[in-house]
Every structure is written in C-alpha cells, then in structure tokens.
Amino acid sequence: MNSVKSTRSLIALLIMLAMLLFVSGCSKSDDDEVADDNSGGGDSAPATVKYTPSGNEGQINGTVTLNGTAPEAKKISMDADPACAANNPNPIVEDVVAKDGKLQNVFVYVKDGKTADGKSIAGLSFDTPAEAKVLDQKGCHYVPHVLGIQIKQKLTVTNSDPTTHNVHPGPAKNPEWNQSQGPGAPPIEKTFDRSEVLIPVKCNQHPWMKSYIGVLSHPFYAVTGADGKFEIKGLPPGTYTIVAWQGKYPEKSQSVTVGVKEVKTQDFAFDASGATASIEGGSLKMMPAIEFPMPMKH
C-alpha cells in the first residue's frame, strides 16, 4: 500500500505543481506590463547643446598666401550690358585675387573637431546673429565674392546697379531659388537652414557674375581680406580641422589645437602651379540607367 500511496501523492503533487505553474504562468504577463509602464517610448535623438561662452575662448589667426605667380587677371567683357560697364570700368575675373602673394577671398572655416571637454562642434548650437549679412550686386559683380553666414542668419541681397539681375543660388542641401531683382527693387531677404560649404550663386543674365556662400552652423569662419589675413575668434578650446577653400585650387586642411585663451597662428599656402580643383574625374560609381520613379499623379 505504501508504494500506492506514494504514487498517489506523487501524482497529486505533480498536478498541483503543474497547476501552480499555470497560475504563475498566467500572472506573469501582468508583471511585465507593470515593468513596461513607465518605460515606453524611445529616447529622443541627441539634441544639440546650446553653447555658452566660458571666457576661455581662443582664436586662430593666419595669412593665406599663394606660392608662384598668380594667373593674370582676366578681363570680363561686359559689352552685353552697357549698364554694367558704367559702374565697373575695369571688371576682372575674381577666381584668384592675389596681391604680393597674399590671397584674398579664401574661405577659412572650422570643418569639424571637438572642444576640450569632448563635445563635437557639430553638436553645439550657437546664437543666430541678429545682424543680416549683405550680398550686394554692384557693377555686375557680387560683393563680396565669398560670404560666410550662419544657419538661420538673415541674408540680404541688394541691387545697386541700374540693371536687372537675378539672384540664383545653386545649393545642394538647401532649397533652390532664383529671383529677379530690378534696379531699385527692395532687398531680397533669405535664410539658409542647413550648413553647406559653399553654395554657388550666379546671375543668369550676366554669366560672369559668381559668388559663393558658406553656410555653417557655427560662427567659426572668416574670409581673407586683401592682405590675405583672417581671424577666427571666440573659438572654444579644442582640436579642430580648419579648412581653407579657395575655389580654383584644391582646398587645404589643417588640424589645429587651441588652448585656453590661446591665440594660435595657422597659415595656409596655395600653389599657383598646382593642380586646379576640379570635380571632374575621380572614381565615380556606376550610374544606374534606370532611375527610381517618383509618384506621379494620374
């Protein structure tokens, strides 16, 4: 009888256990939910951190020079529009403007890098300057030839000429526009929302008119003056890649570390005999003959 009893109790036990398991199994999901409750939702994307000046900012100064003889400045024929010549008796092409080996119109900017406390410069946000940048059309030239601007900063385009221009930037990442501006017309006001270096600007009626706008998320850029000098101020201590863009020659890049309140000097030299920058050639991937069509209404 003993064995019988033990068998019985064993079975009973097993069943009890099994039921217990069921019960516990049933209640398990409820536990999960509680755990879920406060934790739903995803982490939001890392927001940009507002940069507040600490007073330790440094500065980068430098001169951009051109080794070798600068190409002879080509004269532009403005016969097509007599109004142009009136304002600009001696128009020359501005792709290389050099005097005594000093290069003008070079866009020097912080491409990327990290501050001393490890923050990426791209992850910082800076106050949008209240004052607008001005791009003037004078003597059928864009003034300045190269312009730096911060994202969301206002760009004012004015026309000082007695002729009509159209302002036509060709951005890759910002929306494109092309606006006519007659003599005496009110200024065109625009902003760029994404950083892009550099956006070419042209006037379709005066094909020689070219300007370049460098749009950055931060204020650390400068355009060299006639003396080839530039100054990038207010730079938080850190290590950065500084790029000098000239347009005709391949761009130059340097890594620069700026210490607390340090004024660093970083010169750039372009080579007049060197290869000219060109987007042609290079290894380009095979282009598909077949394009993905976009929705079309019918």
Partner 1 sequence: MAETPADADALVKKEPEAVPAKDPIVSTSTSGILLVSALLLMAVLAWALYDEAYGQRPWKDMQRTFVARETSYLKRLKRNGNQTEKEVKESPEYQQLASDAQTAKEAAEPERKEIEEKVRVIDQQLAAITDDFQNKRGKITVANYKIETASASAKDKLRREVEQERQEQIKIKMPADDGSGRTEEQKFTYPELETKYLQLKDDKAQLLAHQADVLKNYNDLAKKRDEYLKDHITGLTDDQITKLIERNNHFDYTLRQINVTDANIVDRCETCHLGIREPLTITPATLKLRGKKPDEDARAFVSHPSKELLQIHDPEKFGCSSCHGGNGRATTDVVKAHGLNPFWLHPLHERDNMEAGCQQCHSNDRVLDFAPNLTLGKDLFQQRGCVGCHRFEGYDRETDGLSNARQTIKQLEEQMTTNDRESRQAVAASATVTDDAEAQKLLARAEKLKVDNSQIAARIEQLNTQSRYLMQDQKKVGPNLKDVRLKLRKEWIPVWLQNPQAFRPGTKMPTFWYLNEGHELSKKYGDKADQERKAIAAYLWQSAFEGQVSKQDAGNASHGEELFKTKGCMACHSIGDADNQVGGTFAANLQRVGEKANFEYIVRWIYNPRERWSPYCPKEKRDLTREDYEKNNKPYVFDTGMHSKCPNDGAELQVQNMTVMPNFRLSQEDARDLATYLFSLSSGHTSYPDASYMDDPNLKNQGFTLIKQYGCAGCHEIKGFEEEQRIGKELTAEGSTPIERLDFALMTQPAEQGLDPLTLKKTDSSGKKVSEWYNHKGFFEHKLTDPSIYDRGKEKDWKDHLRMPQPYLTPEWKTALTTFLLGSVGPEGANVPASMFYNPKDRGRDIQDGWWIIKKYNCMGCHTVQVGQKSVLSTLPQFQTQDGKEQLPPALTTEGARVDPNWLLRFLTDPSLSGGGSSSGDLTAPGHTGMSGANGSSSPQPSAAERMLAGESGASGNQPRSRANANNADFQPQPGANHNGVRLYLKPRMPTFNFSPNELRTLVRFFLAVSSQQEPYIKEQLEPLTDQERNLAREIFGSRSAPCLKCHLTGNPEHDKSASAPNFLMASERLKPGWTFRWLLDPQRVIPGTAMPSDLFKKDGERWVFNSTEQFKSAENYHGDEAQLLTRYILQLTPAEQARLASSSPSAPSGRTQTGDNQNTTAASSTHHARRNHEKQSRFKHQASARAPSPASESQRARDPAIIAMVRHLSLNLAP
Binding site for partner 1 (CB under 8 A): 1, 4, 7-8, 11-12, 15, 18-19, 22, 25-26, 29, 32-33, 36-43, 79-83, 162-164, 166-168, 170, 176-185, 200, 202, 204-205, 207, 279-284, 286-296, 298
| Nearest CA among 150, 114, 117 for reference residue 255 | 114
Instruction: Name the 3-class secondary structure at 140.
Output: coil
Residue closer to partner 1 by CB (options 15, 226) is 15
Least Å distance between CB 33 and partner 1? 5
**Rounded least distance, CB 195 to partner 1, Å:** 19
Geometric angle at alpha carbon 35, from 31 and 37, rounded to 5°? 115
Q: How far is the CB of 85 from partner 1 (least distance, A)?
A: 12
Cβ distance to partner 1 smaller for residue 4 or 275: 4
Q: At closest approach, how far in Å is the CB of 205 from partner 1?
A: 5
284 CB-contact burial (10 Å; exposed 0-12 / middle 13-18 / buried 19+):
exposed
Compare residues 61 and 164 and give the one whose CB is closer to partner 1.
Answer: 164
Would you say 103 or 140 has its CB closer to partner 1? 140
**Residue 232 in contact with residue 60, Cβ under 8 Å?**
yes
Q: Which is nearer to partner 1, 152 or 261 (CB)?
A: 152
Give burial (CB, 10 Å; 0-12/13-18/19+) of 159: buried
SS3 87: helix
Residue 71: how many other CB atoms lie within 10 Å: 14
Q: Residue 68 Cβ, how far from partner 1 at the closest point, in Å?
A: 25
In angstroms, what is the minimal distance from the CB of 95 to partner 1?
Answer: 13
Nearer to partner 1, 164 or 254 (CB): 164
Tell me the sheet residues that pair with 89.
Answer: none
Instruction: State the Cα angle at 212 between 231 and 285, rounded to 5°.
Output: 110
Residue 259 CB partners (closer than 8 Å, separation 6+): 58, 237
Instruction: Report the alpha-carbon distance of residue 217 to residue 268 in Å, rounded.
Output: 23
- Closer Cβ to partner 1, 275 or 294, answer by number: 294
Please say which residue, 24 or 239, places its beta carbon nearer to partner 1: 24
State the nearest-atom distance from the C-beta of 292 to partner 1, in Å: 4
Least distance in angstroms from the C-beta of 103 to partner 1 = 22
* Sign of the dihedral defined by the CA atoms of residues 100, 105, 111, 113, in that order: positive
The answer to whether 59 touches 229, Cβ cutoff 8 Å, is no
b/e 180-206 (16+ beta carbons within 10 angstroms → b): ebeeeeeebebebeebbbbbebbbebb
What 8-state DSSP symbol labels residue 187?
P
